[in-house]
């Protein structure tokens, strides 16, 4: 059996979870899924479309709040004698998978982009922020792996009718010590969701020049109904908050259009934006890696180019 740990939000299985399911379904059958916590309406049917035969739903006080150890205990319970356990390459997916691997004393491969068949199982995964790939062998059973976000196309497969199995996992007291005791909601302006789910992202880097140099890029993002993202130089200098950072140690984005302005395109930044569908780079240096890797580019000073674009958009809207 192949077991996929699936994260959900109000709309169902999250995007990276669906990508992970797509990869899991290709690894063999039967495919099962485990959901811990909220089970949104329609998610059992949705998972069936990816070939999931059984959805294990963990319920009970022990898993009501998130805790890496308790949630991993639930996944371990559902895994039975699974040959492979797959999780999404999100912070929680990574955390639960690492707990599971530690509990079972088996290796874990993070950020997998492709998996072979064969024994021992051989996977390809992203290392060095995605700029290098590693072929790795996972000889132990179950093989535990997480699937890198936006590296596999989300594709439902041969649909089946999934059945739901609800269970209350046995969780030891020691596994309940580190768990979320309270959550402070933050308004949209204080979180990275807007950035990771935006169709259009306008980026700004050192070229912005100072904390006061973001007005035009912020305006462009607003005009396009998108979000602002920045480079690490910008957050390190305290010009913008860290939740806006794109890259290896920031958010991974995959918008339809990414417009990086005054960003050189260092590999750690590229790690976070490589899966953008179209990149339009605005940079004064035509040799900057961001320019040479982009689909389109404008060569020039962002402080002149971006206001001109904003003016043109406003002019056409009348």
Partner 1 sequence: MADVLVCIKRVPEVAGEVALTDDAQGVDARHVGYTISAHESCAVELAVRIATGTGGAATVLTLGTDDAVEQLRTALSLGCSRAVLIEADPSGFGPADVAREIAAVAREHDVVLLGNDAADTGDFQVGIRLAYALGRPVVNGARTVEVADGAVTAQVDGPDGIENYAVPLPAVVTVLEGGVEPRYPTITGRMKAKKVRVETVTPQRGPDGPGRVRLLLPPARPNVVEVLGEGPDAAKSVVDLLEKLGVAR
Ligand X SMILES: Cc1cc2nc3c(=O)[nH]c(=O)nc-3n(C[C@H](O)[C@H](O)[C@H](O)COP(=O)(O)OP(=O)(O)OC[C@H]3O[C@@H](n4cnc5c(N)ncnc54)[C@H](O)[C@@H]3O)c2cc1C
Q: Is 248 annotated as a binding residue?
A: yes
How many CB atoms are located within 10 Å of the residue 297 CB?
Answer: 18
Does residue 217 belong to the site contacting partner 1 (CB under 8 A)? no
Burial string for 50-89 (b: 16+ CB within 10 Å, else e) reads: bbbbbbbbbbeebbeeebbbbbbbbbbbbbeebebbbbbb
State the burial class of residue 269 (Cβ atoms within 10 Å of its Cβ: 0-12, 13-18, 19+).
Answer: buried
Q: Is 231 annotated as a binding residue?
A: yes
How many CB atoms are located within 10 Å of the residue 222 CB?
Answer: 13
Q: How far is the CB of 248 from ligand X (least distance, A)?
A: 4
Q: Is 265 annotated as a binding residue?
A: yes
- One of 69, 73, 84, 208 touching partner 1 (CB under 8 A): 69
Residue 118 interacting entry, from partner 1, ligand X, none, C-beta within 5 to 8 Å by type: none
- One of 21, 101, 228, 273 touching partner 1 (CB under 8 A): 101
* CB closer to partner 1 out of 8 and 46: 8
**What is the distance between the alpha carbons of residues 63 and 77, in angstroms, rounded to a whole number?**
13
Alpha carbon separation from 73 to 167, 278, 318 (Å, rounded): 12, 41, 59
Site for partner 1, residues 122 to 181, rule: CB under 8 A: 122, 126-139, 146, 174, 177-181
Site for partner 1, residues 222 to 281, rule: CB under 8 A: 224-226, 232, 235, 238, 242-243, 245, 248-250, 256-257, 266-268, 278, 280-281
Binding site per annotation, positions for FAD? 206, 231-232, 245-249, 262-269, 283
Binding site per annotation, positions? 206, 231-232, 245-249, 262-269, 283
């Amino acid at each position: 059996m192949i077991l996929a740990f699936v994260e959900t939000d109000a709309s169902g299985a999250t995007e990276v979870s669906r990508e992970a399911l797509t990869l899991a379904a290709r690894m063999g059958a039967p495919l099962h899924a485990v959901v811990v916590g909220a089970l949104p309406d329609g998610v059992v049917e949705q998972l069936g479309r990816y070939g999931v035969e059984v959805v294990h739903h963990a319920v009970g006080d022990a898993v009501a709040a998130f805790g890496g150890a308790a949630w991993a205990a639930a996944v371990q319970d559902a895994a039975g004698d699974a040959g492979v356990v797959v999780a999404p390459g999100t912070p929680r997916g990574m955390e639960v998978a690492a707990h599971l691997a530690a509990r079972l004393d088996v290796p874990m491969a993070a950020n997998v982009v492709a998996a072979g068949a064969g024994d021992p199982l051989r996977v390809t995964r992203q290392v060095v922020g995605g700029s290098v790939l590693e072929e790795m062998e996972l000889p132990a059973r179950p093989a535990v792996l997480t699937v890198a976000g936006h590296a596999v196309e989300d594709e439902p497969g041969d649909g089946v009718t999934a059945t739901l199995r609800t269970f209350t996992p046995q969780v030891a007291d020691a596994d309940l010590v580190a768990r979320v005791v309270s959550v402070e909601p933050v308004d949209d302006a204080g979180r990275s969701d807007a950035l990771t789910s935006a169709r259009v992202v306008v980026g700004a880097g050192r070229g912005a020049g100072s904390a006061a140099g973001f007005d035009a890029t912020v305006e462009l993002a607003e005009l396009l109904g998108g979000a602002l993202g920045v480079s690490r130089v910008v957050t390190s200098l305290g010009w913008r908050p860290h939740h806006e950072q794109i890259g290896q140690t920031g958010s991974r984005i995959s918008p339809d259009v990414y417009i990086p302005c005054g960003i050189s395109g260092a590999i750690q930044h590229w790690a976070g934006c490589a899966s953008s569908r179209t990149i339009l780079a605005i940079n004064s240096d035509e040799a900057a890696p961001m320019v040479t890797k982009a689909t389109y580019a404008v060569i020039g000073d962002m402080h002149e180019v971006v206001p001109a674009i904003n003016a043109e958009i406003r002019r056409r809207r009348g």
